[in-house]
Each structure stands twice: as C-alpha cells, then as structure tokens.
Amino acid sequence: MATALLKRVEPFAVPGGLKGDLSELTLPEILQHLRLSKATGVLTVGHGGAKKSLFIKAGRVVFASSNLPNERLGELLLREGKITVEEYEASIKAINKGKRQGKALVEMGALAPKDLWEGVQFQVREIIYPMFQWEEGHFHFEESQAPEKERITVDIDIVELTLAGLRRVDANGGIQARFVEGHTVLERVAEAPAGLEPYEQHVLVLVDGERSAVEICRDSEIGDNETLKVLYGMQCIGVVRAKGKKVHTLDQDFVPEDTTTSLMNSFNGMYGAIFKHMVKEVGPIAENVLEKYLGGLREQRKDVFASVKLQKDGTLDSAAIERNLNKFPEEERRTRLVDGLNELLYAELLAVKRTLGAEHEGTLIKLLRERQGS
C-alpha cells in the first residue's frame, strides 16, 4: 500500500514538499502519505474563497486554521452553546486589544481551562471535516517546523480523522467518482483501527480477498453506495487494497469460445434482454439509466467503448467496437473485448439492482444463464 501510494504522490513532489490539485490527488491520499512518511510541516488547501492550513507534526495533526469567519473559535463556541452572546461580544473587544480570544474567555469565567482545550480540538476538527467534501482546489505541503506560536495544540491521528471526515460525506455525491470499480477484488492488508462503527466492521468482514466490490455490495446490508464509501475509506487508510480483477464465475456461462462475431452476438443478446426487462419495468427512462453506466465505461475502457452508444434495442454497435480493437495487436483483442463486455454486463446488472432491486437482478442472471444454455 505504501509503495502504491508513493507512486501516486510522486508526480506532485516539489522541493521541500508537495503541490497540486485535489482533482488529481485527493485529501485522504495526501494525509495518508503525510502520516506514513511521518512528515512535519504545513498543508495549505484552497477551495473557492476558502483557505485552510493543517499543521502536521510527525504525521499527526497538531493544529488547523481557516480564513472562514464561521470557523473561528468564538463563533464555534457560540453556536455550540458553550458561551453566551454577551461573553462572545466581550471576547471580541478583548481581541481588538490584542488578547487571544480563548484566554479572554477563560479570564472572564466563560470557559474553564479544560473547556478551552476541548474547544480548540473541536475547532480543529470542524475546520478539517468539510475539506473531505472538496472535489477541487489547490494544495501545497511545505516541510517546516511545528507551529511554535500556537500555545494550544492538539494531537489527532490522521486515520481517525480521515474516517470521521469521510463519514460526513454524502455517499450519493461526487465521492462516487473515487469508488473502486465493481469487478475489482479487494483484500485486507492491515488490522482495522479502533473505533470503527458497527456498519463499517460489517463491510470490512466481507473483504476476504475473494469477493469483488460488486459481490461485497450484494452481501452488505447498508446499500451499494454506503458500502462503496466504506470500502473507499478503508483503502484511504491502508487497511484494504485492490488485489486484481475478478475472474467472474459467470464467464463460463456467458462467454463463448468461438469467433469475435459470436462473442459480440452473445453479449448483445444479453444486453438486449436486460434492456427489454428494464423498459418493461420503468419505461423509456431505461435507456438513460443504462446509457449512464455505458458512459462511465467509455472513459474507463476507451480501448473497447470509445464513441460506442446504446442502440435503440439496448445492444451495441459491433462495427464501432471492432474499429476500437483494431488499434491493438491481434493477440490482445479478444482479451480486451471479453473484459470490456463483461464489465458492461456487470455494470448493467448493477444498474438493475439499484433501480429495481436485487430480485430483478437475480431474475435476469437466471434468464441469461438459461439463454446461454439453450
């Protein structure tokens, strides 16, 4: 895991640190690298008008700052009901006279010293958690000494921070672009950290080095996207990694050993059957649903699906696929074709499950096996 992560980070290395865009290297990946390398320095991240800095010492977070007014200590304490409006306003006057807000609140009796330390830790977390939802933005990590001017610091484990931050991210939002592909087999490579939620432990138990992500989703009780988000989190902290592509047991049933033409005809027959079933259940929207899944593969598997669209009956244009494959050596074409068509088949079955439910998916799998056996 550390080696794979290092390769991911290498393109963003600059003298004395890292620099790049969150759309290319995500915050969890950056933090994991800083944790594993026991780095010390300042990670500055900008997103829109927001600018935040995380102070790292030996791979742990010790402080954070933000230019957003609603993330200042006083505003957070006021919103949480820890201080009154009058106490807040009095502390603002003290700030204007050059005094630290936290110290002023303690001196006026609004906070106990213990509450101040807890308030700073709460503030640091509330500054960082929203950053896990940022899909875009620039980052720059610069190696340096720990922040000496900050008299009150914290000591937060990056693994725990990452999991807590990801729990707040909507599993149905932009984070889906980071989810592992359904045909990927996952394996555990490290012990689970303490403090996992029961539902996270439930998903992690399903990672056995044999199941693919799709199969884990089938056996999970928390839904596909929430399951995939948990798996993504476990990958981020180095507990789970991709082992390889699943050699689907369905291949034996679905993939003929004949010519490329027979192969395409066989898969097109299955795509057509899935499309017909979807149209029967949900109407014309079926085309949009299945096209969305094909669209994802057009980007991931350009070798097979570049410029390929669903035809009116749910099948694919064999000639367009053949043109794509002709760019590769002849000995590679069948393997690329089988892998690509199989990935689309499983994507469409996943679409059926998400749209209609697991019973419809099971019905179609049974139907497809019967078609191949006839």
Span 202-213, pLDDT tens digits: 999 999 998 888
Q: Which of 107, 129, 164 is the last residue of a domain?
A: 164
Say if 83 falls within a structural domain.
yes
Q: Of the candidates 97, 130, 164, which is a domain's last residue?
A: 164
Q: Is there a domain that residue 363 lies in?
A: yes
Instruction: Note whether 349 and 361 are within 8 A (CB).
Output: yes
| Pairing between β-strand 41-47 and β-strand 17-21 as defined by DSSP bridges | unpaired
State residue 193's pLDDT score: 94
Collapsing DSSP states into helix, strand and coil, what is residue 212? strand
Residue 25's pLDDT band (cuts 50, 70, 90): very high
Instruction: Give the pLDDT of residue 17.
Output: 92
Q: Are residues 70 and 188 in the same domain?
A: no
Same domain, 231 and 269: no
82 domain-assigned: yes
| pLDDT for 307 beyond 60 | yes
Mean pLDDT score, 3-30: 88
pLDDT in tens, 113-129: 999 999 999 999 999 99
pLDDT band at 249 (very low <50, low <70, confident <90, very high): very low
Same domain, yes or no, for 210 and 289? no
Per-residue model confidence (pLDDT) at position 2:
58
Query: Token pair of 129, please?
Result: 């958690």
Whole-number percent of the chain with pLDDT over 90: 54
Please give the residue that has the higher pLDDT: either 7 or 167.
167
Is 71 contained in some domain? Answer: yes
* Residue 318 confidence (pLDDT): 87
Instruction: Count the neighbouring beta carbons within 10 Å of the beta carbon of residue 347.
Output: 21
**How high is the mean pLDDT of the chain?**
88
In a domain, 133, yes or no: yes
**Do 286 and 207 belong together in one domain?**
no
pLDDT above 80: residue 373: no
Q: Check whether residue 221 and residue 189 sit in a common domain.
A: yes
How much is the average pLDDT of 92-108? 87
- 299 shares its domain with 159: no
User: In this structure, are 195 and 274 located in the same domain?
Assistant: no
State yes or no: pLDDT of 259 exceeds 70: no
**Mean pLDDT, range 328-334, rounded to an integer:** 86
Residues 216 and 270 in one domain: no
Model pLDDT, residue 146: 63
In a domain, 188, yes or no: yes
What does the chain come to in residues?
A: 374
Q: What is the mean pLDDT of residues 330-344?
A: 87
Kindly provide the b/e burial profile for residues 269-296, where b requires at least 16 CB atoms within 10 angstroms of the residue's own CB.
Answer: ebbebbbebbbeeeeeebbebbeebbeb
- Tell me, what's the pLDDT at 322? 87
Q: Which two tokens stand for residue 320?
A: 């367009």
* 8 Å CB contact between 63 and 55: yes
Interval 293-319 mean pLDDT: 88
> Is 151 found in the same domain as 14?
yes
pLDDT given at position 18? 95
- Given a contact cutoff of 8 angstroms between Cβ atoms, the answer to whether 58 and 40 are in contact is yes
pTM of the model: 0.66
Q: Check whether 369 has a pLDDT greater than 60.
A: yes
**226 in any annotated domain:** yes
Residue 99: pLDDT above 90? Answer: no
Among the candidates 164, 199, 229, a domain finishes at 164
169 is a domain residue: no
Residues in Cβ contact with 307 at an 8 Å cutoff, skipping those fewer than 6 apart: 298, 320, 324
**For position 339, what pLDDT does the model report?**
87
Burial 297-310 (b: 16+ CB within 10 A, else e): beeebebbbeebeb
When pLDDT is cut at 50, 70 and 90, the band that residue 258 belongs to is: low
Contacts of 30 (CB under 8 A, 6+ apart): 9, 18, 43, 139, 141
* One domain for residues 266 and 328: yes
State yes or no: pLDDT of 363 exceeds 60: yes
Examine the pLDDT at 75 and tell me if it is beyond 70.
yes
CATH number of the domain that residue 232 is part of? 1.10.10.10
Q: How confident is the model at residue 254 (pLDDT cuts 50, 70, 90)?
A: very low
129 or 308, greater pLDDT: 129
Question: Is the pLDDT assigned to residue 65 strictly greater than 90?
Answer: yes
Q: 36: which 2 tokens?
A: 């594993």
* Mean pLDDT in residue range 81-90: 92
**pLDDT on residue 3:** 58
Domain boundaries, position 132: 2-164
More confident residue, 66 or 96: 66
Whether 247 has a pLDDT exceeding 80, the answer reads: no
Q: What was the pLDDT predicted at 149? A: 66
Q: Name the more confident of 149 and 12.
A: 12
Answer for the pair 12, 19: CB distance below 8 angstroms, yes or no: yes
Shared domain for 190 and 113, answered yes or no, is no
Q: Are 338 and 298 within one domain?
A: yes
Select the more confidently predicted residue: 301 or 202. 202
Structural domain tally of the chain?
Answer: 3
DSSP-derived letter for residue 154 is: -
**pLDDT at res. 64:** 95
